[in-house]
Structures are given as C-alpha cells and as structure tokens.
Structure 1
Amino acid sequence: VEVERAPKALPACATPVMDGMKVKTNSKVAVGAQKDTLEFLLINHPLDCPICDQGGECPLQDQAVGYGGHLSRYEEKKRVVADHDIGPLIETEMTRCIHCTRCVRFGDEIAGVMEFGITGRSEHLKIDTFFGSTVDSEVSGNVIDLCPVGALTSKPYRFTARSWELIDHESISPHDCVGANISIQTLRGEVKRVLPRINEAVNECWISDRDRYSYEAAGAENRLLQPMVRGELGLTPASWEDALNAAANGLWSVIDEYDASELGALVSPTASFEEFYLVQKLMRALGSDNVDHRLRQIDFSGDDDAGLYPGTSLPIERFSDCSKILLVGSNIRKEQPLLGLRVRNAWRAGAKVAAINSMDWSLNFGLEAKTIVAPGLVPYALAQVLLLLCEMKNAEVPADISGDFLDGADEFSGHEECRKIAAMLCENTDDGVIVLGQSAISHPMFSCIEHLAHFIAEISGVALAILPPANSVAGWMAGCLPHRGANGVPVEAPGLNARQMIHNPRAAYLLFDIEPSRDISDGMHTRQAMENASFVISLQSFDDVPDYVDVVLPITSFTENAGTFINCEGRVQHTVAAVEPMGESRPGWKILRVLGNFFNLPGFDYVQAGDVFEETSAEAEDVSEPNGSSSRPVPCIQKESSVSPGYFELISDPKIYSVDATVRRAAALQSTADASPVTVGVHPDDLEALSLKNGTAIVLRHDLHSVHTQVFSDTRVARGCVYFPAGSDAGPSASIGAEVRIEQESGTV
C-alpha cells in the first residue's frame, strides 16, 4: 500500500496503524508494488496448479487473479527444492514454498515446538526440519491450513479429491473433553479429510492431529460390517433380527437364572449423550443400576457428594488469560492438546505454571516449580502445598482433613518446590486455575486429591478444572452412572461402578464401543470377569472380537453418527452424520432403541437422535456449575503402606494415540513417533540399581499377569516407579500406583 510521506510502498500486513495515517490501496504506486511483489513470488513457483492439492483454495491463486499479469517475463530455469519425508501426516512439495515462514512461526509461537526452520540465503533459502527429522508435534497438522500454497499438504488426503468437489458437514471431535469444532469433508459418500471450524470460545482455529486424522479408522479394512452370533462353529454372521433376538434372549436367560442385578453395562467415554442415556435407560428398565463409563477410574469414594459433573468452572477461552496455573496429575499437552495451547498462550503472556506429577512430562511451556514424585506421594505433595498456603495466607487448615495425613505431608521431602507452588498461588490475582488431569482422575486416592484441590482453590481464590476423558460430561448428565440418573437425579439403590463390576463379576455384560483389556484400568481382571460371564454383548465398530463375546452388533464411527457432545465447561454441541453407515453397521442409539423394542419396554420409540436429547433437556438443570464444593465431606484416604521391597509403583496413562478404539486404528496416527512401540521406562538410578542396560529384555509382572518387553532409562520417571503406557496392545495394563516387579528374561533381578 502507499502511505503518505513514506518513501516507498509498505507491506500492509506488517505496518502498524497510527493516528492521522493516510493509506492508498489503489494508487499507481500501490498497484505497481503489488504486481511487482506477486511477480517475484511467482518467479520460482511451479505451474502445477492442476495437480496441486491446494488448487481451488489457494491464496496465491487468488492473489494472482487479482494482481498478477497475463504473461511471465521470467524465462530462466526455475529453482527446484528436494523434498524430505517429514512423517506420516504431512506431505511436502517445497519447490512451491514462497518463504512466508508461517509454519516456522506456528511452531515457535503456537505449538511451542520448533520443528521447522530456515536454512540458506537468497535463492538458496529453504524451509526444512532440523537435521531431516520428522514433524511430531500433536498439533502439527495445523501448518497444512496455514500454508498459503501447496508446499505442505495432508499426506492421507493427497490426490484423493479436489476442494470444490467436497461437501462440508459440521461435527465435533469425540476424543477429548474440549469438544473441538471440526468440518468433515466428504466426496461421494466417503470421508476425505477433516478441517477445523473456527470457534474462538472452544478451539479457536486449531485442531489436534488426533482430531484431524482419526477419520481414517472409519474406512479401515477391519471395520465390523455385519452382526455376528456365537454358535457351535464360533462367531458367524447373522441378520439384524437374529442378532437382536439372540441378545435379548441371552439377557433374559441371565435375568431368569440369576437376577437383573447380575447385568452390567460398561460404556466408552467417547459415546454420544444419546447413547449414554439409552444404555442406562435400557439397563434400568431391565432392573439393573450397574452401568458406568468411568473405565479408568478406581477411586469412587467421593461419588455421593460429587458435583453435577467433573469439568471446569473456568471457561475454556479464559485459560489463556490466567496468571497462575497448577497442573496436578496432568500431561495437558498430550491429554488435551488444545487446552495445552491455551496454557502456553498464558505462559507466553507472563503466567506462572507449576506441576505436581509422577512424570516430568515434556511440555510446551516453562514451569515455575515442579514436584515429581511417585503416585502414592502425589496427595502428600498437594497437602504440603495446602499447609504452606494456609501458613502464608494466615488461614486455618480445614478441619475435616485428618491430622495423621497432614503430619505425613509435613514431612514430605519436596518441601522447597511445594513452597514455590504455594507462593505462586498466594500472589494477589484471582485469574488462576488448578487442573486435575487423567493421572489424578485415575489415581487410587482421587477423592483425596480432588478434596485437597478444592480447598487450595478456595483459599487461593482460583478456579478448579477437572478434565475427564472424551465426552464424559455427557455420560454424567445422561445418567450413565450407578448412583445417578439423567440430570444428576440420585438413584435410590445405587448399582456397581466400573471397578466393582470387574472385581465382583456379573453374569452378563453389555459392552459399548470398548476394548476391555485396553480401555479398563485393570485389564487382566477385566478379561477374567468377561471370560467367566454367562453372556456378553458387544457393540463395536471393528472386527477384533474377543473370544468371550457371544453377540456382536456393529456400530457406526463418529463420522457416520448424529449425536450430542457436552464439553468440560458444560457447552452442549450437536453433530450430524457426514456419511451413510458402512455395510450393515448402525448408529449406537438406534441399536439400543430397537433392543428396547425387542424387550417390549415402553419409551423406546424415538425417530431421530434429537428426540432422545429433548426427552432429558426439558428437565435438565444448569450445567454450568461442575465439581461441587470443598464443603462436601469427602474423607482424605491415608496411604496404607509403602511399596514392598523389590517392587516399583506403576505409572500408567494411555498415550495420545491409544485413547480409544477409533484412534488406535487410524493408520497415519499409528505411524507417528507418539505411537512408537511400548516399552518400560525407569529412572536411570533405578536402572543402574537393577544392573540392567537400555534395551534389556524383561518381564514386567503384576498380580495375575506379566508383559514381555524391553526396559529403557527415562529421566522423566520418578524414582521408584515404572512407566508402562496403558491402552496398548503390548498386554493388559494395571492401574496407576499398582505394585509391579521387573524381572530379566533369564531370571529375577
């Protein structure tokens, strides 16, 4: 543009606006500069628009139409840049690159991981990864949207469709509690790609790679496409009528032989509100309150006095404005990638962030203080922060926390780091938040941790955010719990929770979209419970069917299903089906509705998913106040004993691409560094004490089962602990804090 009194034309996007400035956008000087700039951009740009995936949605094409000339004066050979393989998610055609450096800035300013950089000068300047490494950030796919040309494109989408052929379908990501707004784009009934939809209050303009590429699983070769019933010849294909009859008859036979209390239902937290609601409605109509979706949780002692749902009292968009943030049992960067970006934004703006964890996770922001301790010591570290906070604030220690517990906290060895955390929380600002992540929720003393966090939040004047998995808030609101019905209405005689259903096995189980040995905290006991059951029904999307399942009903993927999702701040969001169901698979809510009809139960006459939601929304309470309050009498559980000699405490969280059945079958995601083969990690000092070396073949033993793998030194792991990710195919996992033993393949160490 031409700016009055400026000696030359100036770039509009990089020129600050000032009072009295006179700007001309269409003068002879401005138009000439625009044409010259575009000519320089096109000098080395290849003329391959017909085969470029960016064609039809390319900003450079638009600029060329608006400001370019009819002919090129450049007759010399164009520059060619060699491409490198930077991973399974992003395809490169760097000859097209115009050096805008958006991808470099995204890594530096947004993602917090500098994966792209600039090398060379002048005509030899190029954008590349450092030392030819792969791009492994959990939000790396956003550079595809940022790239103004076709230099960076989606590798799975490459050459599969043209942008103008695609049809947009608004949807919500089901994989975490943020509820990112996405656009599923289809061509001739097939999902081709997923893009972000702008929603400043939720995901801004970003999505995680998990949200972007998980659609691949919908078209996986091992999709389950027809019902199956177990007979003398094993599982064989069946018609829907035969399969539903077999399911109904099997459940009736268990009720007749035992009692309705012998039925149990376990539901994936990725289910929609409608599916949660219909599972619990079906089970309760049959006479059982044994229904739960909290598959990795093992401490339920705070259920009776819990809030309406676990979530955040601080709106998602305000995370970026916080001045102090305490993470407890949270690897927020991988668990909730988009919230991790907001925490990073706050940190870049001057916020102080601290953490109490059992792993020194690689975060994309700095920490003011950190306490890395074994899982059993996390509550004591939090109690130490509470004691110091009360001392600094001249506040009384809450009376309902036991003295013995606080005495143990007072002797806690991480005193100095806890003092830094308490001092951070004492600062005179009320725009802060305490975040409880997946490790906290899965902790054997979760109720204690939650109770302490409530007190600390109340005394320091900050918000509390409990970040449950996936669509768990909808599970709470829909009544998919043993102790509450829809909208938080208490149940007169509570049923069994997920852990109780495994350790007090039922005669029959209804499994909804779960892989029990990978999705439930105690995988081996889960398998035993299922094998000993008289009858098991599984509603699932893939054909990896365990040998204990009697009836398999194929359900659709999230791209083929309509439903409702409620994120961690209580925001209700609806989705529509982007494509028709594959094969004979059907939406889960429809299968549950028809199953209710087979039992001749009243109230199962819904026509569409919206009818299910409307049935409960008319009676819904305010969903904006999660978590309850610190005044509820949740007891602090004391640690019973230390770890037995020769044993380690287990740290077991699912990796980012192992959280659910869909993500585990997304081919591109399973080829990334975050989906690398599962091994055991121990602190270097512990590895030396065991006289083992990196890569040694070991057996990790716990209770009823063992896993054969390798052990490696990992400085992130707390002393006295073993890190073995949950949700993998390496073997059934145990719960966080469980005692495990490491044995070398040739003998015990």
Structure 2
Amino acid sequence: MSAQPVTPNVPPDHVTVEIDGQSLVVPKGSMIIQAADKAGIPIPRFCYHEKLPIAANCRMCLVDVEKSPKPAPACATPVMDGMKVATRSEKALKFQRSVMEFLLINHPLDCPVCDQGGECELQDVSLGYGRSVSRFNERKRVVVDEDMGPLVATEMTRCIQCTRCVRFTADVAGTYELGGMYRGENLQIGTYDGKPLTTELSGNVVDVCPVGALTNKVFQFRARPWELTARESLGYHDAMGSNLFLHVRRGEVLRTVPRDNELVNECWLSDRDRYSHQGLYSEDRAVKPLRKVNGEWKEVSWAEGLAAAADILKANQGDALGVLVHPSTSNEEGALLARLASGLGTTNIDHRINNRDFSDAATAEVFGLPLAEIEGADQIVVLGSNIRHELPLLHARLRKAQTSNGAKIHVVNPVDFDFAFSIASKQIVAPSTFAGALENADLRSAVQGGRNTVLIVGGIAENHPQAAAIRAAARDFAAATGARLCRIPQGANAIGLTRAGVLPAGKDVAGMLAQPRQAYVVYGLEPGLDFADAPAARKALAGAQVVAFSQFACASTRDVADVILPIGALPEIDATLTNLDGRSQSARAGGKLPGEAREGWRVLRALGGEMALAGFEFIDLAGLRASLAPVSVTVAASSAASVASEGLEVASTAAIYRTDAVVRRAPALQSHPLNTAPRIVLNATDAARLQLQEGQMAKVGTEAGRATLPVVVDARVAAGSVWIESGHGATAPLGAARVTVVAA
C-alpha cells in the first residue's frame, strides 16, 4: 500500500482522499488509519495492529468524516473516492477524549509500580487525550489473575480489552488459547482452561499488549526501559536468523525484543530467541582459561593456555588433527578455523555435527524460494520436520500462506505432529520410506497444478542415516513437479560456514569419530549433547588430546578436553551470520564478556599468531572482515553407514528448548510446557507387541549405548517407529537408525 500526494493520473485500483487537508492517492480497500499512517498523519489507537485482523474494539481512533453523522473508527472504515477526513478537528478530538475517559474508568492508578511504565501506549496516549481529573467515582473493578506460565506475567486488572493478544494467538500463532469471557462490564481476557500458554510464540503477546496487563515475566522488575541500551543482534538457535534487539544494562542482557524485518521475522520473535539470554549467566560459564594438569583442572593465564593449545596442535598436525565446529559459529570465526586447519595441514574439518549420512557430500543450501515469498505459495509439502518446533516463525508463515492465500499443505512425517494449520494430505510413515512417499502418485498429482509449489525438507530427513536417498528423492520430486526445494540448514550459520570453507576435503564428522584422530579442536560444542552420535564422539574425544574453545566449562567438556579456552556467545560479540535465504546479517556485542572470556576471533588470531600461521596477520575485526572471501571446498563423500535391520526405526527430533548449550541453560524455557522430559513414544500396536504400557519404564538400546526411559503410547507415531527427542542426556546414547526396546 502507498500513500503520496495526489497526482493528475490516479493509478488503477486507487482512489483520492483528503486527510487533514492533505490530498492522497491510496489503494481501494485501504482503511483510513492505513492511509494516514503511510502519510505520517498520527491517529491514536489501541486495538489496531497492522499485523492483526481488524477488531475496532477500543474506538480510540474515531475520526470525523465529512457528511457522516456519526464518528467513524479509522481502523475499520474503508476509504472512498473523494472522502474528506478530519483527525484533529474539534469534533474528532471530542470523540477521542471521551473514549480515553471511558478507558480509564476502571484502570488502576499503578503507573509507578507497573513494569510497563515508560513503554506503555495507554500512558502515552492518555497524556495527549486524557483529562487531569476523572468524573467517575465508582469503585474500580478488579480481575483475578491467572498463571499463564513461566514466560508471560499477568496483571489483568489493567486490561482494556483491546483483544490484540486474543487475535495474535488465534490468527498468527493459531493456538486459540486466549479469549474473552463474560460480557459487558465483566468482560475478562484469559485462557479458557486456566493452563499456561503453550504456543512457541507466546512472548509476542507482551509486545502487542498496549498496557501493562501482559509483561515479560523473566524481565519483570529487573529494570526500567530508560536504563537499557539497545544493541542490534540476531537469533542464533535456528537458521532463520531473526532480527532482534538486546536490551542491556551495565553489560548484562536483561531482555530481548524483536527488530522489524519483513524479509525475515516480520515483527515477531520465537520464545526460544526471546528468552535464551538467561542461559548466558549459567553457573558453568567458562570464565578463565583452564588446563588439565595431572588429571586436575587448573586456572591458567591466557599466555599459558594458548601455549598449551599450540603445543598440542603443533604435535598433531596433518591428518592426525580433526576440527569439529558448532553450526552456529559466526562467519568470522569459521573463516579463521578454516585457516587454522589449512595452516596445520589438515583437511579434517566439519560443522555438520547433526548429520549421519555423508555419502552424497551434501552441504547446506540457500532456500529455493525466499522466506518472505513462501507465504505466497499455493502448494506446500513438508517432508520430515516438526516445523513448529524446528523453525517456529516459518511455521507461522505456512499458516499465513494457508489463511491468506489458501495454500494446500501436504505432510510426510513419521509422527502426526501438531501444526496450527489444516493438512490437505498426509502420509505418516517411517523415515526410511520418505523417498517412496515422495513418489506417491496422489501427492504428485495434488501439487502438479500449483502455480507456486514449495518442498520443505526438515531435520528428521536431513539427519537420518539414509538422508542421501531422501535428498535425492526430494530433488527428483522438485524436478518432476516444478517445486522450489527448501532444505532447512541444520544450524544457525550452516550456510555461512559452508561458504567459509568449514567443510572436509578429508574426513567428515562421522569419519573423524569412527577413525579417531590423535587430537581435536572442538569449537563452541557441548560434546555430550551436540553430536548426532554422542557415544562415538565421547569415545573418540576421550582417547585424544582436545583443545576446546567453549562458552561453558560443562562436565562433558571437562571430561574430554585438555585445554579449555573461554569464548563469547553471539550476544557478547560483533559477528555476522548467514541465514537460510543466504542473507548475511550483522550482530553487535551486547552483553559483557564474562570474566576473562574473549571473542572467538581474538582467541583464534592469538593462537594463529602463536604458531606463526598465514592468514592471522590482521589486527582488528575490520581487518579480518576485509580479508574474508568465499572458499570453495570439494567435499569428500564417505560410504553410507550400515543400518541395522532389527528393532524399531528411530524418528529423532531436536527438543524445542534443548537445541544448544545456551537454550538448555535458560531456566524459564526449561519450565515451559513444551519442554517435555526425555521419553520414547510409540504407537499402540508396537507397544502391545512389545508388551509395554503407558508410563512403564523401558530399556532402549543400540550398539553404542543404552537408556532407560518412560514409555508414552501415542497413535500419532508411524507403525514400526519410535519417536525420541534429542538434546537430553538420557537420550544421547541413542544416536542410531534403529533401537531395541524391552520392558525394564
């Protein structure tokens, strides 16, 4: 939509209107408030939000329309050719001031103690349109609060029933968890069942609330807005790269809020990105260089820590060395790791720690259709993904594609996951049969006539032991149907690290673990939980010398490392990440580095300088960035791993709030209802065959390890499969294609 001064030639489907004496050309169907916003003409509002359906609840936007006997709500009145609107006339101001007076009848006078103070829309608008004295002296109503969970705090007596939160959960999140109860003066907004919010986007209701009724429970009473400094940053827990602001006070990240970017996250933020900053302040943060001396950990100086790391790497150059990198590592750090590996003569470097099948030498690829255009697709196929947990805001865009564009969404999954959109067709099958499911004639016929077809391939498919065959089938499907292929990168910066050359011309992750190296560089990893095959990783690392660059001095890192060099997490450093659209985005340092921790690029520069390696001569970040260039690596393909023929096939998904070390340490997210305890889930037929019952403990085993887990019986799981969530210590030993399950 556009609004600009009138010209003699009015474009098709546009009309001419006059607002406050200013002539504008606006699209037909626009509302008065939309035309005014584009022209920079302010109209007060509470219920209107450009991303939510129009409700016209609050009436704060009443304006005076020529020839209309009654005031018109600007948010719900469409423009007409020749319409004349006054937003600041005496009549219009009288309407607006009267509405403001009504809204404040029951509002409590608790601005000094309200956590929304300083960023409250009601406070701001009442300053311009409110009276200094109320003419109403009746008792104010009081609304009993309800607990909406660990993320959103409530004070519903302040609520003005604008219903923004209701419309968000219904129309954007699609969970319909909030609504209006009772009528008239007794109207209350809340959940119908009194249970916590379960949407993975719940923090957005805090952003849309124009008063202090819904606030950030984690941030509550920690600081006032004017004490905070905003720093531009990025979400780094999935490949979307959501734009956000870190709100910092004296070096501590106290809050995270969305930063508008229509091409990426619009104006929303997932709870995982919003609340993960809590994990930065875990008790096991690595704050000083550590060196293992005679089996005991000793704090050392940076000079001694770097010297010890250099000694290990000098003694284990070439093929004896492996470099294992977390896929959320920044572009700058990735480039230096590639230079470090090259300088030490090794081609064994990889960031694909979640993958199990490297036989096709697959790497992360940019989406075949830009993220912002996916909501315009008319046929969408989701293959092997619990997309609501894997990429929460992509899931929201798929819902938008269906509700706004009528998209037909087809699903091929091992579990009938809960999605907030209706499914046109679904095949719930074991992951090993995904390739065959894509050849299904009914599915191909259904999408063949689509004008804009998308195939989204998720983590279940990408990380399966037979992923190469699934990827080949996905390419064939795309070629046969004209679908755009969108493989979800397995890591926040998998595409950036691919471009930086953090890929093996020698041994890949699986090869480095199956045939252990004499020494390893482990970067940004929590060895006990981050690898697809955690038992193999522990075994390989335990028998080698290990230099760990880590944000956390966790137990699994201490078990395998010889030197731990503390580095900053993304919210604490200047860095760039490349998202699934191939868009390189910048983050600025927000939080203060803890203790003696340093930015990863500084540590790598110092280590490279210690060993006099080429490519480490720069002196600052600008110098490093000036030297960055895409690196082409011919990735070595390995033979396909053998897959056991007995047992139940594993459908493994990453637990939504156990995806990486920082998220795992955020207390509020760990208390969220979506963060379920480790378990195995199988259907009733398989449970009966194995003589297992709901709640019973079962022994789950592979050649690499065993676990004892509670059983959940769920008809949504495909026959012959067992659903397990990774990211838990209890499920870490189960990194295999098939498992045996017996009663404990």
Deviation at 1:642, TM superposition (A): 7.8
* Structure 1 residues 694 and 377, CA gap change in structure 2 (3 angstroms): same
Residue matched to 1:460: 481
Gaps of at least 5 residues in structure 2 are 1-62
Residue matched to 1:680: 680
Deviation at 1:134, TM superposition (A): 0.5
Residue matched to 2:742: 743
CA distance in 2: counterparts of 1:635 and 1:554, whole angstroms: 33
Residue matched to 1:315: 370
The question of whether the paired residues in 2 share the 8 Å contact of 1:541 and 1:554 is answered with: yes
Residue matched to 1:603: 615
Residue matched to 2:33: none
* Structure 1 residues 324 and 122, CA gap change in structure 2 (3 angstroms): same
CA shift digits 1:155-208 (9 cap, x unpaired): 110011111221111111111111111111111221111111101111110111
CA distance in 2: counterparts of 1:609 and 1:705, whole angstroms: 44
Deviation at 1:473, TM superposition (A): 0.5
Deviation at 1:332, TM superposition (A): 1.5
Gaps of at least 5 residues in structure 1 are 389-418, 483-493, 622-627
Alignment of structure 1 residues 168-179 onto 2, 5 Å? 168-179=230-241
CA shift digits 1:277-320 (9 cap, x unpaired): 111210111011111000011111222xx57x412021111011
CA distance in 2: counterparts of 1:709 and 1:461, whole angstroms: 44
1:296 has 2:317 as partner = no
The question of whether the paired residues in 2 share the 8 Å contact of 1:540 and 1:552 is answered with: yes
2:581 partner amino acid: E
CA distance in 1: counterparts of 2:420 and 2:343, whole angstroms: 48
Q: 1:329 aligns with which of 384, 392, 405?
A: 384
Give TM-score scaled by structure 1 length: 0.88
Residue matched to 2:696: 696
The question of whether the paired residues in 1 share the 8 Å contact of 2:358 and 2:638 is answered with: no
CA shift digits 1:201-253 (9 cap, x unpaired): 11110111111111111122221111110012511111111111111112223
The question of whether the paired residues in 1 share the 8 Å contact of 2:378 and 2:450 is answered with: no
1:451 partner amino acid: A
Residue matched to 1:144: 206
CA distance in 2: counterparts of 1:271 and 1:714, whole angstroms: 37
* Greater RCO (Cα-Cα under 8 Å, separation 6 or more): 1
Deviation at 1:512, TM superposition (A): 0.7
Alignment of structure 1 residues 292-441 onto 2, 5 Å? 292-303=350-361, 309-348=364-403, 349-382=405-438, 384-385=439-440, 388=441, 419=442, 421-429=443-451, 431-441=452-462
Residue matched to 1:477: 499
Could you tell which deviates more after superposition, 73-82 or 287-296?
73-82
TM superposition outliers: structure 1 runs of 4+ over 6 Å: 634-637, 639-642
Could you tell which deviates more after superposition, 26-35 or 206-215?
26-35
CA distance in 2: counterparts of 1:536 and 1:67, whole angstroms: 65
The question of whether the paired residues in 2 share the 8 Å contact of 1:291 and 1:481 is answered with: yes
The question of whether the paired residues in 2 share the 8 Å contact of 1:652 and 1:733 is answered with: no
CA distance in 1: counterparts of 2:424 and 2:453, whole angstroms: 14
Alignment of structure 1 residues 644-663 onto 2, 5 Å? 644=646, 647-663=647-663
Residue matched to 2:58: none
CA distance in 1: counterparts of 2:322 and 2:498, whole angstroms: 17
* Structure 1 residues 635 and 171, CA gap change in structure 2 (3 angstroms): closer
CA distance in 2: counterparts of 1:41 and 1:428, whole angstroms: 49
Residue matched to 1:164: 226
Deviation at 1:676, TM superposition (A): 2.0
Q: 2:191 aligns with which of 129, 133, 136?
A: 129
Give TM-score scaled by structure 2 length: 0.88
Alignment of structure 1 residues 516-527 onto 2, 5 Å? 516-527=527-538
Residue matched to 1:538: 548
Residue matched to 1:397: none
* Structure 1 residues 447 and 563, CA gap change in structure 2 (3 angstroms): same
SS at match of 1:537: strand
Q: 1:189 aligns with which of 246, 251, 256?
A: 251
2:492 partner amino acid: A
Residue matched to 1:399: none
1:19 has 2:81 as partner = yes
1:643 has 2:637 as partner = no
CA shift digits 1:53-99 (9 cap, x unpaired): 21111111111011111111121221111111111100001011000
CA shift digits 1:687-714 (9 cap, x unpaired): 1222222110121111131111211112
SS at match of 2:732: coil
Q: CA RMSD in A?
A: 2.1
CA shift digits 1:413-441 (9 cap, x unpaired): xxxxxx1x212211141x12111111111
CA distance in 1: counterparts of 2:348 and 2:638, whole angstroms: 24
CA shift digits 1:550-605 (9 cap, x unpaired): 11111112111111111111111111111331111111111111111111112212
1:581 partner amino acid: L
Aligned residues: 678
Alignment of structure 1 residues 517-666 onto 2, 5 Å? 517-533=528-544, 535-546=545-556, 547-617=559-629, 643-644=645-646, 647-666=647-666
Deviation at 1:666, TM superposition (A): 1.1
CA distance in 2: counterparts of 1:176 and 1:653, whole angstroms: 14
Deviation at 1:19, TM superposition (A): 2.0
The question of whether the paired residues in 2 share the 8 Å contact of 1:175 and 1:471 is answered with: no
Deviation at 1:2, TM superposition (A): 1.6
Q: Which has the higher helix share?
A: 1
The question of whether the paired residues in 2 share the 8 Å contact of 1:652 and 1:734 is answered with: no
Residue matched to 1:277: 335
Residue matched to 1:395: none
The question of whether the paired residues in 2 share the 8 Å contact of 1:178 and 1:336 is answered with: yes
Among all aligned residue pairs of Structure 1 and Structure 2, give the percentage whose two residues are the same amino acid: 41
Deviation at 1:641, TM superposition (A): 7.7
Residue matched to 2:286: 224
CA distance in 1: counterparts of 2:674 and 2:690, whole angstroms: 27
* Structure 1 residues 104 and 640, CA gap change in structure 2 (3 angstroms): same
CA distance in 2: counterparts of 1:640 and 1:498, whole angstroms: 16
Alignment of structure 1 residues 93-132 onto 2, 5 Å? 93-132=155-194
* Structure 1 residues 635 and 512, CA gap change in structure 2 (3 angstroms): closer
Deviation at 1:29, TM superposition (A): 2.6
Deviation at 1:684, TM superposition (A): 1.7
SS at match of 1:668: helix
SS at match of 1:265: strand
